[in-house]
Amino acid sequence: MGHRYFGTDGIRGRVGEDKINPEFVLKLGWAAGRILGKTPGSKVLIGKDTRISGYMFESALEAGLVAAGVDIHLLGPMPTPGIAYLTRTLHAQAGVVISASHNPHYDNGIKFFSGEGSKLPDDVELAIEAELDRKMTTVGSTELGKAYRVTDATGRYIEFCKSTIPMTMDFSGMKIVLDCANGATYHIAPHVMSELGAEVSTIGAEPDGLNINDAIGSTHPEKLQAEVVAQGADLGIAFDGDGDRLIMVDHEGDLVDGDEIIYIIARGRHETGKLNGPVVGTVMSNLGLEHALSSLGVGFERTPVGDRHIIERLAATRGVLGGEPSGHVICMDRTTTGDGIITALQVLAEMYTTGRRLRELRSGMSKYPQELVNIRLSSPVDINTSAPLKKAVSEAEHELAGKGRVLLRLSGTEPLIRVMVEGHDQHQVVKLANQLAGVVEQVMQRA
């Protein structure tokens, strides 16, 4: 039986519509409390990003969990990976994140972490969904949960982030511009970096509830690129709204994406004998990463898009490093989930250890030209069985002559078919991607 409510990354949508409304979230809190709070003395943590609707959903979750007899601990604004860490270290039964990651302020979402700081297993999510079908009841007054505020949540997480690199490292003399996307890292990332000695300036660190991810952050790094050059900084770091991913900028203002960040960390770990297992990427990871790792003698495996798949593969292969081009990087030897601040620190540690600038560190990997075309679905298309599509893909692969890749996939979050072509020649890659997109459009028109 499949999920009815939980998607690949919790429950997400437009505020006030469908499931992202106070009534549903109240019931979700109650249902989660019934399943997760079966042991006496259970507690659940609640954290959120900076979007204005977070207050409303925090209150609704609080009421639902308390009605189910579960104590809750409120963390306030906190990066998603910080909530995962605190769930683990405070020995809570679960952590709840109120965030829609890199989406605009008018979206929000709810996702859960288990007591181990990882995503909930499918059977627990299905049990919560089953509970949602029941009539909501309230435990007796003597059994109601209580609500507490965790006053030292920020300080605890800052210290944890700093502990992921050697204590001897001091970033004095390093000038860093941070873009906090007006999101959940605004009051944490600047402290982490400055406490480690760096000279820090910030943009996107003044959230007002509505400006999260608004033309800023890892999905809009243009302001950061300009700021790094204008300030003569050594590098820039852009987080997304909930702080689980990052994009970096070198001293010349050029972007360093997730694939390049993975390469830098992988090479450093490999050279010190601390890179266990293969590096895990996705079907979207650039061929350049695969080839650069291969030249180091490092294995590389691909999964479908999504951090859940990456984490599962890392666990199966006992690997320690994986991620996506978007900057969602998972250092399993440091923490349990994608963490923008911790990933940034691993790269800064490489700069410190090698004495090289970011631009130099990333130069060991050459990215292949990659063209991505998104086609909005106007009618259902089975991309795996359509004869015209299979023929078009085969012809494109033939033209690439083993020196590139073609990928067609349905988006997991939007009604889109994504066409990706990668190869040595930029002109050829763009031409083939547009040709394939045209065939997809024709197939939809005939459907």
Question: According to the model, what pLDDT value does residue 39 have?
Answer: 74
pLDDT, mean of residues 326-354: 97
What is the model's pTM? 0.93
Q: Are residues 189 and 238 in the same domain?
A: yes
Pairing, β 94-98 against β 107-114: antiparallel
Taking only the tens place, the pLDDT of each residue in 169-208 is 999 999 999 999 999 999 999 999 999 999 999 999 999 9
By the 8 A CB rule, do 197 and 227 touch?
no
2 within some domain: no
Residues 403, 405: Cα–Cα separation, whole Å? 7
Residue 424 lies in a domain: yes
Average the pLDDT over 107-120 and give the result: 92
- Shared-domain flag, residues 349 and 409: no
User: In 3-state terms, what secondary structure has residue 289?
Assistant: helix
**Residue 175 CB neighbours (<10 A):** 17
Examine the pLDDT at 285 and tell me if it is beyond 90: yes
Residue 306 is predicted with a pLDDT of 87
Choice among 42, 53, 99, 101 that is catalytic: 101
Q: What does the pLDDT read at residue 146?
A: 96
Q: Which residue range(s) make up the domain with 24? A: 11-151
Q: If you average pLDDT over residues 105-110, what whole number do you get?
A: 96
Q: Evaluate if residue 2 carries a pLDDT over 80.
A: no
172 is catalytic: no
Are 198 and 341 part of one and the same domain?
Answer: yes
Q: What gap in Å lies between CA 188 and CA 241, rounded to an integer?
A: 13
Q: Tell me, yes or no, whether 248 lies in a domain.
A: yes
pLDDT confidence of residue 103? 93
Sheet holding 279-282, edge to edge: 300-303, 279-282, 321-323, 329-331
CA distance 41 to 389: 56
β-pair partners for 122: none
CATH number of the domain enclosing 388: 3.30.310.50
Residues 219 and 134 placed together within one structural domain of the fold: no
Same domain for 414 and 351:
no
175 and 146 housed in the same domain: no
DSSP 314: H
The helix or strand, by DSSP H or E, that contains position 74, with its residue range, turns out to be: strand 71-77
For the chain, the domain total comes to 3
Q: Are residues 381 and 358 in the same domain?
A: no
Q: 192 and 263 share a domain?
A: yes
Residue-level pLDDT at 413: 67
- By the 8 A CB rule, do 320 and 277 touch? yes
Question: What are the phi and psi torsion angles at 128 (to 5°)?
Answer: -65, -40
3-state DSSP assignment of residue 422 = strand
Q: Is 262 helix (H, G, I), strand (E, B) or coil?
A: helix
In whole angstroms, give the CA distance from residue 258 to residue 328.
7
Both tokens assigned to 317: 């292969």
Q: Clarify whether residues 358 and 374 are in a common domain.
A: no
Average pLDDT of the chain, as a whole number: 94
Considering the domain architecture, whether residues 179 and 250 belong to the same structural domain is answered as yes
- Tens of pLDDT along 23-76? 999 999 999 999 988 777 789 999 999 999 999 999 999 999 999 999 999 999
Q: Is residue 58 part of a domain?
A: yes
Q: Is residue 433, in this structure, part of any structural domain at all?
A: yes
Q: Please determine, for residue 264, whether its predicted confidence score (pLDDT) is greater than 90.
A: yes
Asked whether the beta carbons of 108 and 183 are under 8 A apart, the reply is no
Helix count and strand count (H, E) for the chain: 14, 18
Rg of the chain taking only CA atoms, in angstroms:
22
On whether residue 90 sits in a domain, the answer given is: yes
Looking at the structure, tell me whether residues 318 and 198 fall in a common domain: yes
217 in a domain, yes or no?
yes
